[in-house]
Structure 1
Amino acid sequence: MSYAPQIRIPATYMRGGTSKGVFFKQDDLPEAAQQAGYVRDQILLRVIGSPDPYAKQIDGMGGATSSTSKTVILSKSTQPDHDVDYLFGQVAIDKAFVDWSGNCGNLTAAVGAFAISNGLVDSTRIPKDGICTVRIWQSNIQKTIIAHVPMHDGQVQESGDFELDGVTFPAAEVQIEFLDPADDGEDGGAMFPTGNVVDEFEVPDIGTFEATFINAGIPTIFMKAEALGYIGTELQDDINSDANALVKFEKIRAYGAKFMGLIQDVSEAAQRQHTPKIAFVSEPKAYVSSSGKQLETGDTDLLVRALSMGKLHHAMMGTAAVAIGTAAAVPGTLVNLAAGGGEREAVRFGHPSGTLRVGAQAELVEGQWVVKKAVMSRSARVLMEGWVRIPAETIA
């Protein structure tokens, strides 16, 4: 039996924040994959190396974690007053599934740089030196994001002295603004889908819990660490090595998704792994981060641990950071209370790899909480560019 040569597809491998992913220009994809559907998903699965029953993604570009099993498709924007359309696909590791239900806040930091370097931003909008403001339309969630990308001598500046916990080496700072980050009501309701900043909800055979359900950045369920049997200083292995804990978290997430109105039946959660996220919060405590850095109680306003794709994240998802900043700005949420309560426009929270500061401003408008913008800093750089190759039979 003869086999056709592999297909070559132009691609760039980039780090954005604490994530890595394979970036494509939409018109570089095979024609059948330039629109949503089976062929596109099959190509992205094969590029990343999924589904892999060994959960290693050895035969692909994925890194066998939720932070490194990611794909991005970019094109010139079809929206007025925007530069680039950004579509994010979270690729499952052990299943033949690409989740298009949410954004990746970390990889957002790399979108502006890719767009500038690949001709997706009008040259008249790109300064030779200084900051290039890239207007991003996030297609998954239908929201505007503004990336402030540093430029030097007409090129994207990638090197710098900005340090981001969870990333080993310093790089140039990219400030990101998530405009109107709360849900607009089309998928699960308003910013607080239940209308409450704290709810009690029951999970069969596990218990009844207080939770803050929020649609901001990404749909997220916040719970108290102590109610789950934790103290808030846990690192990855403390959670991910406990199979029973992971099963428990997934069941809570599934029932939480139904409680938020994101799904109609808990069985649907299996096909919506990327959203919602589940996180637990606690008041500040001293702990040693995964890099060995000693953090004192006064270094943070609160502690947050979040799970992504069924595992505790090694740092913090960017979109979840937006949810944290937004919830912290609203008095009475579990996040706000863990940070000491009251009104606040920014928080520094502790995560397994260190700390992160995120800002958001909230106001009460006609009885509904509104957040116009959430802001945080990330960094990004190109790791490799050229072509990825996949077997021709992938799209035969």
Structure 2
Amino acid sequence: MTIVTSLTRRFALVLVAVLAALVPASSGGAQERAIPVMVQTVPALTGVGFSVDDDDFSSDATGLALVTVQQPGGYQVSVGDSQVDPDTRVTFVRWGDGIEEPERRVSVSSFTYLQAGFQVSQRVDFRFSDAAGGSLADGIDSFVLTDSAGRDVELSGGSAHWLETNRLIFSPDGLKSRRLTYHIREVVVDGRRIEPVSASGFSPTEESWEVSLPVGLGSNGEDRGQGGEGSGGAGESASMNVLGLVLVAGLLLMAIAVGLPANRRVLKRFLPSATPRESISRLRATSRESISRLRATSRESTSRLRATCEPILAKVAARPRLTTAIVRGRFVRRPPRQVSELVRVRLKDGRTIEGWTDHEVEKDHVAVRLAQIDRVRDQSGRSVGSTPRDAFVLQSQIATLEVLVTSAEGPIVTREEENEEARVIDLRAEDARRE
């Protein structure tokens, strides 16, 4: 029931915001309408505080925080209190458009949507036990964890520690949060490195982690079951080591004594008494033989490489090339999928957006959809980052619309095919150098 209520509330907030954005602006004499500003926390966090100028608001159970402003303009948006739980740390990382400062300036002219990314850490109590179930809290020197992203984390002692629960990922669609899991790679107990019995993953959203080690340790750090025989066993082991060293030394001396005549014969064979001229002649003959073998091997490798590359070259030569365009002296590359037109859209708020559409804008009187955004400029003409809402521009937001290029139909070579062609060309150049 809680999940249904949360989803219903979230849908209602988004619906109200979109309807407010679609309502046309009122005339100068009419009463000004409220403009919604929505902030989504990534991951979804409850109770994270935000402020727009002096108006404070916080996120709900779905991570959405909503506030309204009375008129268009520039507003100071900042992240406020992020303490959501005593055992949870929440640290602001970045906004969805890449800005890393928690306080920023936002231009509001219609419905405004922002993403705020956070790094969440959870307090985890580690409980280490031996094979008999006894606690090893006092004997743990350190241990190494490996998270699901492949990073190693080394911690000291066996008490509670803070672990990161998520990893933020920046994508063209905005911020995404990926949950992290951990497994213990090794534990150092009283100076000994030990691998745990179970290597199953652990999520730091839980409050404690039970770890069993395949050892039996007493209070003095000795293995259980040895008792007073520990010192006697150590002395016997040392005696066996000394005896082994004596045997190895004797065998080495015997091998040297037996092998001396054979060693002399080998030395005479490879180092005969000869004049310097004879030695140089032998060296030249050996070098010529090695070079001949190397050339034969190189020719064979070149033939195999050529046989492998010829089918690839034929396949690449049969493909069409990427189409490009030059727009007012600027080289513009076709995006990696079929599009129709390159347009420049000037918005009523002063910003300018250039990008490729996936439809003919003259036939669409509702909105302009941009499949790829090449450039965004603010009111002063500076290049700024794009936001997800720049890809869908309503006609009510457009001041002027200019079609720069209409692309030709036909297949497009992908980036992978270009890389394959470049690799084959490099192989042919290497083949030519060898010949």
Per the normalisation by structure 2, the TM-score is 0.22
Which structure carries more helix by proportion? 2
Look at both structures and tell me which one has the larger radius of gyration over its CA atoms: 2
Bigger relative contact order, structure 1 or 2, given CA contacts below 8 A and separation 6+?
A: 1
Per the normalisation by structure 1, the TM-score is 0.23
